[in-house]
Structure 1
Amino acid sequence: MTRTTRRAPTARQAALLDELLRLFLAEGFAEATLDDFAARLHCSKSTLYALAPSKEQLAVKVVGQFFRVATERVESRVAGAADARGRIAAYLAGAADELGVASPRFVADVADFPPTAAIYERNAAAAAARIRAFITEGVAEGVFRDVHARLVGEMAGWLIEGIQTGVLAERAAVSDSEAFAALADLLLGGLAPGTGR
């Protein structure tokens, strides 16, 4: 049985992926063809086929890269926080900043294409897990009152998913950034010692 190894992209391929990501974030990807992408990026279709064998797989690769890089940047911000309260604030502010560059078209295209929607859902689940961990840490540190961390984390995860899919922005007529700020206020205010029963 032979094992295939995944080769790292060349510098040119990495640059093309970055350019594709900028294009996807600004305009989405569902309506465009590989010919459109090649024309916009001033490259051949065969160059794009070297990145992925189809438009669909290219979309998965680019969307996966978006979330991977965004997660790294958010986690970098979280690492500098002094306590769980700061970690939640940094995490949600970072998520707001990262998603703030995504156009409504990109968000809709990601949600409408099952393979990229699955990437989105995994990220929402990971976000809920991170928030749950921060809440558990905050209760242990004494910066949060004692709450059901798993339940509150899952509720936060639903809200994050609502933000990421554009549902909250549409219903409340706010930007993703405003929605994440409101979520931070809700969590941090509600978790503060002395609140609740």
Structure 2
Amino acid sequence: MTPAARSGTATRTRRRTVRQEDLLNRLVALFAAEGFAGFTLDDLVERMRCSKTSLYTLAGSKQELVVEVVKQYFRASVPAVEAAVAAADDPQGRVVAYLTAVGDYLRPLSRAFMDDLSEHTQAAEVYRRNTVAAADRIRGLIADGIDAGAFREVHAAFAAEMVAATMFEIQRGEMFSRLELSDAEAYAELASLMVHALRA
């Protein structure tokens, strides 16, 4: 999702084989659809049609495996999100593109996954770091818009923190479940709100 997903992962990614990357990506798809708290390693062996040894090449325990899967999910989001930003041709479009792309990338994540994520300290920390990095990215996009005269003079860091706080609420799912909004819809609303609030 964000530049944070890049840090500390390049070496580990280079060491993985194509088969390991495929297994990790299939775990991403499984966890995204069904969550992960209810799976044992034996369950994963059966669902992935692999050996337990294959899972241990990715991580030393189920807890560590969950963290690796969550890291992989956010790491893979970076090219798609940044490509959407690069394709936008004005500051407003870049803010909308960034938040919309993040929302679209989160769309496959089931409520079961998000609930499990909230209960898993290390995996939730991965999400938190990515959200912090997203706030930094938004702050930069807002500052660029102010410099270009497209946005009115605001405290860019404050606006970015408001975005980050909303992103955390989207992750928790409580507020937006009351509104009957999906995570992707919530991000679309956030993008619209930010642009209208910032417009010069």
- Same topology, TM > 0.5: yes
Mapped partners of 2:94, 2:19: distance in 1: 36
Instruction: Quote the sequence identity (%).
Output: 46
Correspondent of 2:112 among 105, 113, 117: 105
Correspondent of 2:49 among 21, 30, 42: 42
User: What secondary structure sits across from 1:51 in the alignment?
Assistant: coil
- The answer for unaligned runs of 5 or more in structure 1 is none
User: Size of the alignment, in residue pairs?
Assistant: 189
Q: Kindly name which structure, 1 or 2, has the bigger radius of gyration based on alpha carbons.
A: 1
- 1:127, 1:160 within 8 Å by CA — same for their partners in 2? no
List structure 1 segments (4+ residues) > 6 angstroms apart after TM superposition: none
How far is the alpha carbon of 1:183 from its aligned partner? 0.5
- 1:28, 1:107 within 8 Å by CA — same for their partners in 2? yes
Tell me the amino acid that sits aligned with residue 95 of structure 2: I
Corresponding residue of 2:6: none
Tell me the amino acid that sits aligned with residue 137 of structure 1: D
- 2:96 is equivalent to residue 96 of structure 1: no
How far is the alpha carbon of 1:166 from its aligned partner? 1.7
Corresponding residue of 1:75: 82
Corresponding residue of 1:53: 60
The CA deviation string for residues 29-70 of structure 1, in whole angstroms up to 9 with x for no partner, is 111000000000111111111111100111110100001111
Correspondent of 1:156 among 155, 160, 163: 163
Which structure carries more relative contact order (alpha carbon 8 Å, separation 6+)? 2
- 2:142 is equivalent to residue 135 of structure 1: yes
Tell me the amino acid that sits aligned with residue 34 of structure 1: L
Correspondent of 2:124 among 117, 128, 133: 117
The CA deviation string for residues 112-147 of structure 1, in whole angstroms up to 9 with x for no partner, is 100001001011111111111111110100111111
Correspondent of 2:25 among 14, 18, 35: 18
Tell me the amino acid that sits aligned with residue 91 of structure 2: A
How far is the alpha carbon of 1:164 from its aligned partner? 2.4
Mapped partners of 1:134, 1:167: distance in 2: 28
User: What secondary structure sits across from 2:197 in the alignment?
Assistant: helix
User: What secondary structure sits across from 1:29 in the alignment?
Assistant: coil
- 2:40 is equivalent to residue 30 of structure 1: no
Corresponding residue of 2:93: 86
Corresponding residue of 2:5: none
The CA RMSD measured in Å over matched residues stands at: 1.2
Mapped partners of 1:165, 1:87: distance in 2: 26
How far is the alpha carbon of 1:81 from its aligned partner? 1.6
Range that drifts further, 95-104 or 160-169: 160-169
User: What secondary structure sits across from 1:143 in the alignment?
Assistant: coil
How far is the alpha carbon of 1:83 from its aligned partner? 2.1
Mapped partners of 1:24, 1:52: distance in 2: 16
